[in-house]
């Protein structure tokens, strides 16, 4: 029988006293966690990760978390030790009587496997959701899920942060948008790209791709006019960069003056760095949800630390998370 640790009916408050907040870094997101803790103005909690000779992990929380709001910060990109470490940390905090446990997962791995697209395959995103809930998480905080419906795989609250809160101010302050056209590298990403085109009141084009098998794009057809335009491709992640590079080629072939891309999660596997260096992309702008494996002159990294620190504070203080998305509501101030 599967046991679900649902959200406590009441937050762990003693009268009007605010709960103690504990932020912990896991191995895959240590640098980001340090920055989040800096903006939150709270030191990271003490934790070590022991490894046995056979590779098994044993995280040890080295301070009391009894009754506290606990946040574990860890992206779940490969290797799979990253996911296992997060699950074990959550279990350790639950057994140590933590009051409320939030898994802060800047990049939620396996989100691309959100349905059965062929016979006899798993719905991996649902399985990961079950594992996190069973381990003892009371809440999930993540950014730019590959598919919004993955939120529904959880029976606990999910705070789905949007990278537009980072990218829109950056574009407004650093890019000449007078000649820009936004583009989606595939049909599935149209909704994401449309957010930018609507906000900036610019045209939207679609790159319709035909993929013969995973990570291999056969051809791309550009739907829309990009003649003389500076195109900005919008996607949630970049893996091998094959789609982005072929989309850039197709857009330049249709008369675009330049092509840059904004992709939240830099998975960057296989020959991704080589592909980007050799591509016709002017620039690839990513977030720091996954650390870069190496430097690349064409890749610029934007920090998510301020957004996550604000979201954590709003969670603790029971304030709105949606209020952080100031591009939809001019009353809300930009991130500090």
Total domains, the chain: 2
Q: In what order do the strands lie in the sheet with 21-25?
A: 21-25, 69-73, 100-105, 139-143, 158-161
**pTM for this predicted structure:** 0.90
CA–CA distance from 331 to each of 4, 304, 323, 327 (Å)? 39, 22, 9, 9
* 61-64-68 Cα angle (round to 5): 105
51 located within any domain: yes
Distance between CA 328 and CA 336 in Å, rounded?
A: 17
Q: What CATH number should be reported for the domain holding residue 211? A: 3.40.50.2020
- Tracing tokens 């016709």 back to the chain, one arrives at 280
100 located within any domain: yes
Q: 147 and 239 in one domain?
A: no
- Residue 21: CB atoms within 10 A of its CB come to 17
12 located within any domain: no
pLDDT in tens, 231-268: 999 999 999 999 899 999 999 999 999 999 999 999 99
Contacts (Cβ under 8 Å, ≥6 apart) of 211: 217, 218
Parent domain of 288 = 164-302
Q: 286 and 313 in one domain?
A: no
Q: 241 and 118 in one domain?
A: no
How many CA atoms lie within 13 Å of 147's alpha carbon, on the beta-carbon side? Answer: 16
58 located within any domain: yes
Q: For every one of its 336 residues, what pLDDT tens digit does the chain have, with 9 covering 90 and above?
A: 444 544 454 555 545 567 799 999 999 999 999 999 999 999 999 999 999 999 999 999 999 999 999 999 999 999 999 999 999 999 999 999 999 999 999 999 999 998 898 999 999 999 999 999 999 999 999 999 998 899 999 999 999 999 999 999 999 999 999 999 999 998 888 999 999 999 999 999 999 876 555 555 567 889 999 999 999 999 999 999 998 999 999 999 999 999 999 999 999 999 999 999 999 999 999 999 999 999 999 999 999 999 999 999 999 999 989 888 755 554 444 555
11 located within any domain: no
Strands (E), 125-177: 139-143, 158-161
pLDDT in tens, 95-152: 999 999 999 999 999 999 988 989 999 999 999 999 999 999 999 999 999 988 999 9
Q: 81 and 175 in one domain?
A: no
Report, as residue numbers or ranges, the catalytic residues.
209
How many CA atoms lie within 13 Å of 7's alpha carbon, on the beta-carbon side? Answer: 12
């Amino acid at each position: 029988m599967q046991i679900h640790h649902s959200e406590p009916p009441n937050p762990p408050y003693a009268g009007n006293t605010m709960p103690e907040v504990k932020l912990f870094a896991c191995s895959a997101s240590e640098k980001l966690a340090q920055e989040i803790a800096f903006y939150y103005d709270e030191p990271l909690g003490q934790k070590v990760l022991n490894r046995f000779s056979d590779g098994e992990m044993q995280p040890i929380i080295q301070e009391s978390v009894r009754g506290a709001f606990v946040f574990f910060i860890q992206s779940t990109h490969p290797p799979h030790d990253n996911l296992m470490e997060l699950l074990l940390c959550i279990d350790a905090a639950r057994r140590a009587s933590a009051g409320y446990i939030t898994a802060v997962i800047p990049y939620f791995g396996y989100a691309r496997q959100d349905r059965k697209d062929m016979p006899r395959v798993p719905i991996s995103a649902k399985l990961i959701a079950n594992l996190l809930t069973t381990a003892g998480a009371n809440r999930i905080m993540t950014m730019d899920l590959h598919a919004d419906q993955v939120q529904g795989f959880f029976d606990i609250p999910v705070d789905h942060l949007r990278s537009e809160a980072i990218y829109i101010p950056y574009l407004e302050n650093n890019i000449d948008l007078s000649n820009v056209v936004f583009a989606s590298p595939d049909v599935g990403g149209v909704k994401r790209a449309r957010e930018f085109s609507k906000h900036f009141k610019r045209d939207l084009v679609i790159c319709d791709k035909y993929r013969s098998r995973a990570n291999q794009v056969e051809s791309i057809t550009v739907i829309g006019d990009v003649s003389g335009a500076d195109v900005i491709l919008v996607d949630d992640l970049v893996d091998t960069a094959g789609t982005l590079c072929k989309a850039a080629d197709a857009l330049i072939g249709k008369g675009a003056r330049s092509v840059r891309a904004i992709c939240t999660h830099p998975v960057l596997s296989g020959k991704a760095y080589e592909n980007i260096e050799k591509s016709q992309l002017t620039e690839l702008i990513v977030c720091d949800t996954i650390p870069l494996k190496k430097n690349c002159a064409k890749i610029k990294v934007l920090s998510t630390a301020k957004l996550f620190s604000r979201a954590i504070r709003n969670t603790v203080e029971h304030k709105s998370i949606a209020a952080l998305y100031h591009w939809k509501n001019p009353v809300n101030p930009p991130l500090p």
